Amino acid sequence: MATAAALVGDSAPSRGRWGRARREANSEGYPGRQSRWGSEAKVPSAALPRAEQDEDFRPLALEGAPRPGVGCSIRLRRGGLMPQLGLGSGGLEGREGREAIATALRAGYRLIDTALYYRTEKEIAAGIRLAGLSRSDVFISTKVLQKAHASNAQVRESLAESLKNLGTNYVDLYLIHNPRAGRIKEVWALLLQLRDEGLARAVGVSNFGIAQLEGMREAGLELPEVNQIEVTAYHERHGIATMTMAPLARGRMFGYSDLSKMAEEMGRSEAELAIRWSLQRGFVPIPKSINPQRILLNMADGFDLNPRQMARISQLDSGFMSCTMASPCHELAWDLVSDGIPHPDTWGGNRKGKGKGKQTGSWTDDYQTWW
């Protein structure tokens, strides 16, 4: 979370923005039995405004429940809906993982984030069944295997494998996992094609920095609808929804900042404050937990942060980066990733985060180290 605050730039929430947000209840109800995600009529890509015109895009707005969080969704640039709070599923393996996913779904989470690399896609399919829901009730985001960027055929195979694992014929959101995987122009064009073929309702990227997004824009490419990253203000200007990965900074900042004092004052946990901050900023946080009580806690329900508290959290920026292998790749030069595949020596990963914070040993420490 501290990292998110680090990159946001401004401090207080824009009240005007939320004031403009449409708040009517969705006519399908929530949670619905019919598919409500991305069910809007799609704009054919040929009719989309070119990147140069994207300043005209309407700002992203929240819809649904009267306050940010579970029940709220973000209307994406092309018209699809994405639930605002998600469950990160990296590490949610086996029976415990399936049950954690079902717990979250029963509690009202409707977005689950995964990646072919996480090996949790089958657990997601099983968790949905366990919760008594159908595939269409849940918004699933998954990511291309990075090494599959070597060829278009492998990217297609990566998606085919994800679809098989998930027991579905489409994903709601398909992301490029990391710019370091390279050949971005080719792979992005293919993702747009896969979307037009109906295999993905929306496509986006992850770990992309401003220079890389600008590289796409200047190359005349359609911009992603979502960037999953440790947050940047650039997104808002271009109608890109911000999915905040590792919104708890992997727990490594707990007890090391003013957030712990605030949590004590408010009688809440640091995790709840971090997630509510993210929700009220209009981001899409995807905290991961395998622990049923924490999954419920992470809905950050029953309280709101006032503007002063929002500003106080935004000021916590210490530059700490919890995803030490993934996040630094947002700084890779566009030229390095646009057409070729950058050498791993250029990734700049394995940095220690700046500032205080625990460097714990867990699966998350090395799950991005593969190639």
Ligand X SMILES: NC(=O)c1ccc[n+]([C@@H]2O[C@H](COP(=O)([O-])OP(=O)(O)OC[C@H]3O[C@@H](n4cnc5c(N)ncnc54)[C@H](OP(=O)(O)O)[C@@H]3O)[C@@H](O)[C@H]2O)c1
Query: Which residues participate in catalysis according to the annotation?
Result: 118
Asked whether the beta carbons of 230 and 321 are under 8 A apart, the reply is: yes
**Complex with ligand X: residue 21 or 254, whichever CB lies closer:** 254
Of positions 11, 294, 331, 333, contacts ligand X by CB under 6 A: 294
* Binding window for ligand X (CB under 6 A); candidates: 4-12, 74-82, 256-264, 282-290: 282-290
276: contact with ligand X by CB under 6 A? no
Tell me whether strands 81-83 and 284-285 are parallel, antiparallel or unpaired: unpaired
249: contact with ligand X by CB under 6 A? yes
210: contact with ligand X by CB under 6 A? no
- Among 195, 207, 117, 97, which residue's Cα sits nearest to residue 162? 117
Question: Number of residues in contact with ligand X, rule: CB under 6 A?
Answer: 30
Asked whether the beta carbons of 214 and 191 are under 8 A apart, the reply is: no
Of positions 326, 332, 336, 337, contacts ligand X by CB under 6 A: 326
Asked whether the beta carbons of 210 and 234 are under 8 A apart, the reply is: yes
Of positions 202, 248, 279, 336, contacts ligand X by CB under 6 A: 248
245: contact with ligand X by CB under 6 A? yes
- Among 187, 120, 199, 118, which residue's Cα sits nearest to residue 154? 187
β-pair partners for 284: 243
| Beta-carbon contacts of residue 212 (< 8 Å; ≥ 6 apart) | 179, 184, 205, 330, 332, 334, 337
Tokens 């946990």 identify what position? 269
**Complex with ligand X: residue 165 or 298, whichever CB lies closer:** 298
Helix runs in 229-291, H state only? 234-237, 258-266, 270-280
* Binding window for ligand X (CB under 6 A); candidates: 49-57, 73-81, 196-204, 291-299: 291-299
**Complex with ligand X: residue 21 or 263, whichever CB lies closer:** 263
Residue type, 305: L
**Complex with ligand X: residue 223 or 325, whichever CB lies closer:** 325
Both tokens of 208, joined, read: 């992309």
**Complex with ligand X: residue 199 or 286, whichever CB lies closer:** 286
Of positions 38, 80, 83, 88, contacts ligand X by CB under 6 A: 88
User: Residues interacting with ligand X, by CB under 6 A?
Assistant: 88-90, 113, 177-178, 206-207, 228, 245-251, 269, 271, 286-291, 294, 297-298, 323, 326, 364
